[in-house]
Amino acid sequence: MKLVTIVGARPQFIKAAAVSRVLRRQHQEFLVHTGQHYDENMSEVFFEELHIPRPDQNLGVGSGSHAKQTANMMIGIEEILLEEKPDGLLIYGDTNSTLAGALAASKIHIPVFHIEAGLRSYNKRMPEEQNRILADHSSDLLFCPTETAVENLKREGITKGVYQVGDVMCDAVKYYAEQIEKQDKSYYFNQLRGLFCEVIPSEKWYIATIHRAENTENIQKIREILEAFEELDAPVLFPVHPRTKGIVTQLYQQYNYQNILFIEPVGYSMMLYLVKHALKTITDSGGLQKETYLLDTPCITVREQTEWVETLSGNYNILANPEKNDILSKIFDTRISPEKKLNYYGDGHSSEKICALLSSASN
């Protein structure tokens, strides 16, 4: 088959690294980067580090409102599809790039293949939830990471073309986790770049990522979160998303946090190392919840709900409100139950299963 693949954000680069490595053995792939993540540390570094094939085209849409960003992506993707005339469009996850690809292709009757289909948080205030639902209902083949995702689709009347293949993120974690231990701690810490001060290596640390609008657009919420970090019993390594750099800089200048090491965004191998060896992870990211689960690192998710409900088993992931006392309580008082932790995400060969199903569909 000739396939056009759409990527635009960090999690999609990681998933595409796992799938494209297998896909290109049997199929022709035209890779489109929408430019949704355009900062070098959030985009370029991943293509270099993960050996992802260079994009055949970069739309360079950059930031903007949801409507403007998605519309500009749709215009660019439609032009490519009309030019390339692929047998199908491959999309990942739940970003605006995902939705733009699904809508552009389905409107001109090009089959849509959705990897990581069927996830639901059941909170439609999240733009990702809207993107997931619309993309799933526009897709012809839906590759689900878990049985929960299959059941979610069934409840919405989607049963045709649905396959439980496991999680391609699991493929990536298993593959790259073997590579990161070839270097010691000093190798990784020497590469960290502090935003406000030098990063001094620590024997123990927490790793945190906070970037969602519901946590960062309300200054009281982000203050509460940072105050919790300031009271933890080990330094908090905090890669700062470009979207939150302004508010974080403002608060640092005001409060001069001592226990939080604000650093530039890091690459995938670096993040895996920091997560694997952290005391705990504190995040509002969907993908990082799953990575911490796969790496056996306890996680506190600063959100009201999670689309990765399986990670809650054994308290390896626990939800917290964006309030200092609740975050601290969840970090210090949560008891982990290892016997309840199960392998929900597959055997690390999801990419092969997806490519086999695509080959079957083309025959």
pLDDT tens string 256-314? 999 999 999 998 889 999 999 999 999 999 889 999 999 999 999 999 999 999 999 99
Confidence of residue 22 (pLDDT cuts 50, 70, 90): very high
Give the best-scoring range by mean pLDDT among 29-43, 62-76, 135-149, 201-215: 135-149
pLDDT above 90: percentage of residues in the chain: 75
Residues 237, 131, single domain; the answer is no
Predicted pLDDT of residue 39: 57
Residues 188, 94, single domain; the answer is no
Separation of first and last alpha carbons in the chain: 9
Q: What is the pTM of this model?
A: 0.86
Q: Examine the pLDDT at 147 and tell me if it is beyond 60.
A: yes
The reply to whether 172 falls in a domain is: no
Q: State the residue range of the domain holding 8.
A: 2-167+346-362
Q: What is the mean pLDDT of residues 143-152?
A: 96
The reply to whether 45 falls in a domain is: yes
Q: How far apart are CA 54 and CA 24, in angstroms?
A: 13
Q: How far apart are CA 101 and CA 91, in angstroms?
A: 7
Task: State the DSSP string of 220-243.
Answer: HHHHHHHHHHHTSSS-EEEEPPGG
Give the CATH number for residue 127: 3.40.50.2000
Residues 222, 250, single domain; the answer is yes
Tell me if 304 sits within 8 A of 289, measured CB to CB.
no
Q: What is the mean pLDDT of residues 29-56?
A: 77
Q: Name which of 10-24, 93-107, 324-338 the model is least confident about.
A: 10-24
Q: Examine the pLDDT at 38 and tell me if it is beyond 70.
A: no
Q: Examine the pLDDT at 250 and tell me if it is beyond 80.
A: yes
Average pLDDT, rounded, for the chain: 92
Residues 142, 191, single domain; the answer is no
Tell me which DSSP letter residue 118 carries: T
The reply to whether 173 falls in a domain is: no
Higher pLDDT, 38 or 309: 309
Q: Examine the pLDDT at 42 and tell me if it is beyond 60.
A: no
The reply to whether 194 falls in a domain is: yes
Residue 296: Cβ within 10 Å count:
12
Residues 354, 333, single domain; the answer is no
Residues 192, 102, single domain; the answer is no
The reply to whether 65 falls in a domain is: yes
Q: Name which of 123-127, 297-301, 331-335 the model is least confident about.
A: 123-127
Predicted pLDDT of residue 48: 77
Residues 239, 329, single domain; the answer is yes
Q: Name which of 94-98, 234-238, 344-348 the model is least confident about.
A: 344-348
The reply to whether 274 falls in a domain is: yes
Nearest by Cα to 156 from 183, 133, 179: 133
Mind telling me the catalytic residues? 211
The reply to whether 309 falls in a domain is: yes
Residues 187, 330, single domain; the answer is yes
Residues 82, 182, single domain; the answer is no
Q: What is the mean pLDDT of residues 94-101?
A: 96
Nearest by Cα to 235 from 210, 257, 264: 257
Residues 330, 261, single domain; the answer is yes
Domain count, the chain: 2
Predicted pLDDT of residue 43: 59
Residues 73, 149, single domain; the answer is yes
Give the best-scoring range by mean pLDDT among 177-181, 228-232, 344-348: 228-232
What's the Cα-to-Cα distance from 166 to each of 4, 39, 117, 192, 245, rounded to whole Å?
22, 30, 11, 33, 35
Q: Examine the pLDDT at 40 and tell me if it is beyond 70.
A: no
Residues 148, 213, single domain; the answer is no
